[in-house]
């Protein structure tokens, strides 16, 4: 008897060790009403693990084996949905949300063994050039480091612009053309150490631990997205666990992270989720690891979400934000060290601050079985401040002697918005759905900047040779932006689907910031369940950043003369055709070809090679001359994706892009854009091995090969006078750097124990130590005597993680032996 009891309790313990719970809800994709009676089954389970949703469309599965799982959701009158590659650990319940599309005809019973494509795009109006990505994907790819931007660079048509930043180039477009949307509203650049007019940065403010499955668009996107010409990140925040409290803590060399989530009321299914992260690289200095500068970058960010569901809708309160700072002080250096000064300039002390935040309230209300409305009220703000002090010094016996530190530059940029986004969605029978809405923003901005020129004699140490102060920005701006839109989706039959949309964009900042009619169109034909042909078109526009409009290239007295206040939006025609085919149950192939015509691009009034299509990536600010909207450009190319779904322990992704991106400035000459690499190839592989005790060993690799950036011959006389690289204008972008290559490796080991999970990981970035050229830079103090040097991208770096987590509590210790910054990468070398 005693032996029987011991055996029984032992079996219970083993079952709990090797299994976990899955919870979620199943809703109609077009009216968000919960679907009672839907069957939810774990594919391949024996005996079968399954359940039926309750009257609210909710379900709960227990005893699901740990590891990767495929879920099959089926409902009479709706299309089946298969969720592939779901990851279960012993430390946390898996909570998912499933949206089903109405079926036009009843489908035959089929055997489901996996799904060759990623989960369907959340936005039903997107028929091509769109992809849904999961939180798990941001961690899956080697080198992504949980960053959505770096993760997206693995997709066809997408490239990283700079290893030290997460800006992305989509189909040859400037990174400035990417729109960031969070919880349904447009947000400022969600990155630490952001530079005015850019869409990326070295460290993301976003934390993948609180993101839900989200959409990423690379062109011809639906009408609800305006003010973007390249692509869209449509990010969603997940709700907290409504059944149990869970906590997280992460300690490590890059800082501390805290997270908590759980139910506010189990009866009402309300929940909370809060997250805070503080990071510093100070410990690298203690360990003697070089990060390119003696300055210590510091940043912190936070997020929250409170969700209150009801019978006919829900209300959510949410927010994200972060701040960062870095002080690059060279005046306290004992000896010159230009070889390791990767960030900053070697003639000044620099103090930089940035901040960003958005908070909002979202209300969703079901009006009837066919209609629901959604309204989001939000406020956002972004601020960027910087101060520079010129260092007068001399070298005596190999040591610096600082004479004085006069102020050289100061700027204070701030932008804020109050936003109201409202739409109504109506289901017009089984075949048609309609969405009508308006996105409104009240905008405020203040730009203040003044600087002193460094005269030639200042380089020789004369403290009286800095120029007089010149005010370059001094503007306070108020504007109203409106974007009404309407879009409809119609399914003619099981084979043919079409979408049609129209939007308009108006900003009161000037009379030219108006795009009256922007049509969007998509059509899809599926001759059978294994293949699909699609085509789409969109007219898109993007308003210019405020700092461009109010820069004063010259002054009258103290006041800057603003020459660009009448600049209007950049506009593009974007056409795409695509073909997608399933090659067996687990592999899919996708090919897309596109052509994009850019017009009304800001270019110089005086004949010049300058065009706004080449800006938006890097740490440098842009100081525009007198501009007008008379530039053109085009991007054309073809993309291939081959993807093996994460089944039977492995995942594979191969993408190839062949493209051409050119522009025409005010001098009438067609040139390569700075981002016209002409080709890009990615190979991503991931393999998992599960032990008898449900522990998991994982190995991931990524290989990237891409064409180099473009540049031109240097005007050395002008460069010496300006103390920065100046190219011969007529020969801009006539030369190309050597091709870019990088190999990354990711290793991991995960132990699953009752209610506890322990994970070890190691990320090796640029394992071959490849010296990829980023740009040319000016270094007057370089020992070789040649001030024009090549600046390299990220060198080899390694990042190890150790994490523990458990039900009810979560502890994670993250030990990073390097960050996004290089361990060693000399800034200068002979070109």
- Give the CATH number for residue 761: 2.40.170.20
pLDDT score, position 319: 98
For residue 58, the domain's CATH number is: 2.60.40.1120
Query: Do 537 and 517 meet the contact criterion of CB atoms below 8 Å apart?
Result: no
Spatial distance between the Cα atoms of 663 and 671, rounded to a whole number of angstroms: 6
Q: Verify that 644 and 734 share a domain, yes or no.
A: yes
Instruction: Determine the structural domain holding residue 394 and report its residue range.
Output: 135-814
Q: Is residue 159 part of a domain?
A: yes
pLDDT tens, residue by residue, 474-499: 999 999 999 999 999 999 999 999 99
Q: What is the rounded distance in angstroms from the CA atom of residue 584 to the CA atom of residue 95?
A: 29
* Residue 764 near residue 798 (C-beta atoms within 8 A): yes
Query: What pLDDT does 510 receive?
Result: 94
Q: Are residues 531 and 654 in the same domain?
A: yes
Helix ranges (DSSP H) in 18-157? 135-140, 148-152
Q: How far is CA 136 from the centre of its chain?
A: 15
Q: Is residue 459 part of a domain?
A: yes
Token digits of residue 478? 């108020």
Please answer whether residues 744 and 738 qualify as being in contact, where contact means their C-beta atoms are separated by less than 8 angstroms.
no
Cα distances (angstroms) measured from residue 380 to each of 84, 442, 812: 36, 11, 31
Report the distance separating Cα 566 and Cα 320, nearest Å.
33
Residue 4, in any domain of the structure: no
* Residue ranges in 749-793 assigned as alpha helix (H): none
Q: How many domains does the chain have?
A: 2
Domain for residue 729, yes or no?
Answer: yes
Q: Is residue 89 part of a domain?
A: yes
My answer on whether 34 and 182 are in the same domain is no
CB of 70 closer than 8 Å to CB of 85:
yes
Report if residue 10 sits inside a domain: no
Do 569 and 639 lie in one domain? The reply is yes
Statement to judge: residues 626 and 585 lie in one domain? yes
Q: Is 62 helix (H, G, I), strand (E, B) or coil?
A: strand
This prediction has a pTM of 0.88
Listed as ranges, residues in the chain with pLDDT below 50 are 1-16, 107-119, 292, 338-343, 809-831
Whether residues 304 and 432 share a domain: the answer is yes
Residue 688 inside a domain? The answer is yes
Residue 24 shares a structural domain with residue 97: yes
Closest Cα to residue 161, out of 153, 151, 169?
169
pLDDT for 421 equals 98
Say whether both 36 and 151 belong to one domain. no
Tokens of residue 280, six digits: 């510093």
* Torsions phi, psi for 122 (to 5 deg): -60, -35
Residues 93 and 140 in one domain: no
The answer to whether residue 249 sits within a structural domain is: yes
Helices (H), 622-706: none
Q: DSSP string spanning 506-525? A: EETTSTT-EEEEEEEEEEEE
385 burial type by CB count under 10 A (0-12 exposed, 13-18 middle, 19+ buried): middle
Residues 427, 575 share a domain: yes
Q: Are 81 and 145 part of one and the same domain?
A: no
466 and 530: one domain?
Answer: yes
Q: Give, rounded to a whole angstrom, the gap between the first and last alpha carbons of the chain.
A: 82
pLDDT tens for each residue of 504-547: 999 999 999 999 999 999 999 999 989 999 999 999 999 999 88
Examine the fold and report which residue of 103, 125, 155 is the final residue of a domain before the chain moves on.
103
Write down which residue in 103, 121, 153 finishes a domain. Answer: 103
């Amino acid at each position: 008897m005693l032996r029987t009891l011991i055996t029984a309790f032992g079996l219970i313990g083993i079952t709990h060790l090797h299994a976990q719970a899955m919870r979620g809800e199943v809703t109609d994709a077009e009216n968000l009403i919960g679907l009672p009676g839907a069957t939810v089954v774990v594919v391949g389970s024996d005996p079968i693990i399954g359940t039926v949703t309750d009257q609210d469309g909710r379900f709960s599965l227990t005893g699901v084996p740990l590891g990767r799982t495929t879920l099959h959701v089926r409902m009479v009158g709706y299309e089946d949905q298969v969720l592939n590659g779901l990851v279960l650990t012993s430390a946390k319940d898996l909570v998912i949300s499933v949206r089903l599309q109405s079926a036009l005809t009843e489908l035959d019973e089929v055997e489901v063994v996996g799904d060759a494509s990623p989960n369907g795009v959340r936005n039903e109006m997107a028929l091509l050039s769109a992809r849904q990505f999961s939180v798990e994907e941001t961690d899956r790819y080697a080198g992504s480091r949980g960053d959505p931007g770096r993760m997206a660079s693995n997709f066809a048509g997408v490239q990283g612009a700079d290893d030290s930043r997460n800006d992305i180039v989509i189909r040859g477009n400037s990174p400035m053309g990417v729109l960031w949307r969070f919880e349904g509203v447009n947000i400022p650049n969600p990155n630490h150490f952001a530079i005015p007019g850019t869409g990326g940065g070295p460290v993301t403010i976003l934390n993948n631990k609180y993101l839900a499955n989200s959409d990423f668009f690379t062109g011809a996107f639906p009408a609800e997205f305006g003010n973007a010409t390249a692509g869209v990140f449509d990010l969603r925040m997940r709700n907290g666990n409504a059944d149990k409290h869970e906590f997280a803590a992460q300690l490590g060399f890059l800082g501390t992270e805290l997270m908590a989530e759980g139910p506010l009321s189990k009866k009402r299914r309300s929940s909370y989720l809060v997250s805070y992260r503080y990071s510093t690289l100070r410990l690298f200095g203690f360990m003697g690891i070089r990060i390119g500068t003696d300055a210590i970058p510091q940043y912190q960010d936070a997020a929250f979400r409170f969700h209150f569901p009801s019978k006919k809708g829900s209300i959510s309160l949410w927010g994200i934000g972060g701040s960062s700072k870095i002080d690059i002080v060279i005046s306290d250096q004992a000896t010159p060290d230009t070889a390791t000064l990767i960030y900053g300039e070697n003639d000044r002390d620099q103090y930089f601050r940035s901040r960003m935040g958005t908070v909002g309230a979202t209300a969703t209300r079901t009006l009837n079985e066919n209609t629901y409305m959604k309204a989001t009220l939000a406020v956002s703000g972004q601020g960027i401040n910087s101060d520079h002090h010129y260092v007068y010094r001399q070298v005596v016996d190999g040591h610096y002697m600082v004479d004085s530190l006069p102020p050289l530059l100061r700027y204070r940029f701030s932008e804020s918005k109050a936003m109201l986004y409202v739409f109504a969605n109506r289901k017009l029978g089984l075949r048609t759905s309609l969405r009508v809405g308006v996105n409104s923003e009240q905008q405020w901005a203040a730009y203040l900047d003044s600087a002193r020129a460094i005269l030639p004699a200042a380089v020789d140490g004369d403290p009286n040779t800095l120029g007089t102060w010149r005010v370059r920005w001094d503007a306070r701006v108020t504007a109203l932006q409106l974007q009404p839109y309407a879009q409809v989706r119609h399914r003619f039959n099981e084979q043919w689907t079409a979408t049609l949309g129209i939007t308009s964009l108006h900003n009161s900042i000037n009379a030219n910031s108006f795009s009256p009619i922007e049509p969007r169109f998509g059509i899809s034909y599926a001759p059978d369940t294994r293949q699909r042909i699609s085509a789409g078109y969109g007219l898109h526009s993007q308003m210019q950043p405020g700092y461009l409009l109010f820069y004063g290239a010259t002054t009258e007295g103290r006041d800057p003369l603003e020459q660009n206040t009448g600049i209007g939006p950049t506009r593009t025609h974007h056409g795409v055709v695509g073909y997608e085919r399933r090659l067996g149950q687990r592999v899919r192939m996708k090919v897309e070809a596109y052509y994009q015509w850019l017009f009304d691009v800001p270019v110089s009034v005086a004949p010049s090679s300058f065009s706004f299509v080449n800006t938006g990536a890097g740490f440098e600010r842009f100081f525009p001359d007198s501009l007008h909207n008379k530039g053109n450009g085009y991007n054309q190319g073809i993309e291939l994706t081959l993807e093996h779904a994460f089944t039977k322990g492995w995942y594979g992704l191969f993408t190839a892009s062949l493209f051409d991106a050119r522009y025409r400035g005010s001098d009438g000459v067609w040139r390569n854009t700075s981002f016209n690499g002409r080709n890009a190839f990615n190979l991503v592989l991931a393999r998992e091995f599960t032990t008898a005790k449900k522990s998991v060993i994982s190995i991931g690799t990524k290989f990237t090969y891409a064409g180099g950036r473009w540049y031109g011959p240097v005007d050395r006389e002008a460069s010496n006078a300006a103390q920065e690289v100046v190219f011969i204008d007529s020969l801009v972008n006539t030369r190309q750097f050597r091709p870019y290559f990088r190999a990354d490796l990711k290793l991991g080991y995960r132990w699953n124990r009752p209610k506890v999970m322990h994970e070890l990981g190691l990320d090796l970035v640029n394992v071959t130590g490849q010296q990829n050229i980023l740009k040319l830079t000016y270094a007057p103090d370089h020992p070789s005597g040649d001030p024009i040097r090549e600046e390299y991208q990220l060198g080899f770096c390694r990042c190890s993680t150790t994490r523990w987590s458990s039900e009810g509590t979560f502890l994670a210790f993250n030990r990073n032996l390097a960050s996004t910054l290089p361990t060693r990468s000399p800034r200068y070398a002979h070109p």
